[in-house]
Amino acid sequence: MRAWRTVLPPTLLVLAGLLAAPAPAAAQGAGRPDEATALTLERVPGVERAKMAGLETDTKQGGDRYSVQDLDIMQPVAVRLRAIDPSQTVRLEVVKGEWTNVYRNCSTNGATPCEVRFRTEGNFGLQVTSPAGAGVRYELGVYVGDEMQLVPANLVVPPKDAGQAARGGLGLANILLGVIAVALVGLLLLVGWSVLRKRNQEAS
């Protein structure tokens, strides 16, 4: 297993700050790090208001499990998964509480990585699997923004709280700002991922 660390160029400073923009969903409850490899979030020089963790490794039979701990509901989270070989497929699941409680999932599509964004309180788990079983090389990146001071108006809540959210209403301006922020975060992840991969190749 090889972990990566890098310094992003100054042109990414503004985009990195957008990790503090509202995320699409909030998962509730505390995660369990049992039987999982804990990912350590670290500050990356040149990137403000965010911590990152990542690794490059091969899938094991039955899948790989990771945990990220001690998060606040006001911290936006983005997780990105990419198969090194575009002909292979890897699948990502975000879990809470028990490993069977899957809140988010996605799969790679050829050379296209998969990505999920959300907020949560406490811990969450990640499961990486492949239809091919063991030996599929992949890169996994986790980006966590700093805690926000105010609750965003366009924070999506779990279904059980949807009635209360509907009564409060969402302004059109807030919705548009949220869409723009999500798009810019996606751009940050795409550019940052390219830089990280280039430095991994240089370090190999």
Q: What is the pLDDT of residues 163-197, one digit of tens each?
A: 444 444 444 445 445 555 555 556 566 656 666 66
Q: Which two tokens stand for residue 85?
A: 């070989």
Encode pLDDT of 32-81 as tens digits.
Answer: 445 799 999 999 887 778 899 999 999 999 999 999 999 999 999 999 99
Fold of 2-145: Jelly Rolls (2.60.120)
8 A C-beta contact, residue 57 and residue 65 = no
* pLDDT grade for 148, boundaries at 50, 70 and 90: confident
For 124, counting Cβ atoms within 10 Å of its Cβ (0-12 exposed, 13-18 middle, 19+ buried), the class is buried
Q: Is the pLDDT of residue 124 over 50?
A: yes
- Where are the chain's structural domains? 2-145, 163-203
What pLDDT was estimated at residue 47?
75
